[in-house]
Amino acid sequence: MNKRLKIAVLTGAGISKESGIPTFRDNNGLWQKYDARKLASVAGFEENPQAVLDFYNARRKNLLEVAPNHAHRALAELEKEHDVTIITQNVDDLHERAGSNRVIHLHGELKKVTSSVNRFNPDCIKEYPLDVPIKIGDKAADGSQLRPYIVWFGEQLGPEIEQAVILIENADIFVVIGTSLVVYPAAILVNFAQPEVPKFLIDPGDMNGKLPEGFTHIQKTAVEGIEDLIDSIHKL
């Protein structure tokens, strides 16, 4: 196949798990160990900002200790043949570090900080060194306390969700990797792919009858299943 295709790839925690980044909802996930309401919500930040900053500073530091895996790199390599856009629920930067040039982060980015008054203020969103902790007293451009540029529980998604919908609607191929498809926004986004386009899901679970209509299930981990995906795309 020589045709250059538009490929939209939705990724979740499963792809980063294989690089050593903890997931959230697995048996050993972060929310089994920590209270999400206290560490990932505006109310939790207002109640104990130091605890929230400590939690995210640890996660930011962890990014310095991990690297992209084969699945990340293979998706970046696919850009040589096709127009690939990564739509990720992950807040790490492993797709970018692997070489992907078009990455949309639905839930924010650990590498960035923003205003605690207006998360969407473009003057306050900036990259912040991963090895420098965010401290109480660090100020955003509007004078408010700096906070991680992360979508917390109860907060609305940013304009990235609209971009994702348009990309999926116009994709020639839609791929989902490492997300169960039962949690918003993944559960909604799969509905925007055109019925006639090839759709693939890479996930080691059996889906328990929850596989969306029209999807080919590659029942492997991201690293194991990525070559099956590439082969399937080449055969189209």
16-25, 77-86, 168-177: range with lowest mean pLDDT: 16-25
What is d(CA 183, CA 200) in angstroms, rounded to the nearest whole number?
A: 18
What is d(CA 149, CA 141) in angstroms, rounded to the nearest whole number?
A: 14
Mean pLDDT taken over the chain:
92
pLDDT tens by residue, 117-159: 999 999 999 999 999 999 999 999 999 999 999 999 889 999 9
Q: Which residues are catalytic?
A: 107
- Type of residue found at 139: K
What is the pairing mode between strands 146-150 and 108-115? Answer: antiparallel
Dihedral, 83, 89, 94, 95 alpha carbons, nearest 10: 0
pLDDT tens by residue, 117-128: 999 999 999 999
What is d(CA 68, CA 20) in angstroms, rounded to the nearest whole number?
A: 10
pTM higher than 0.85: yes
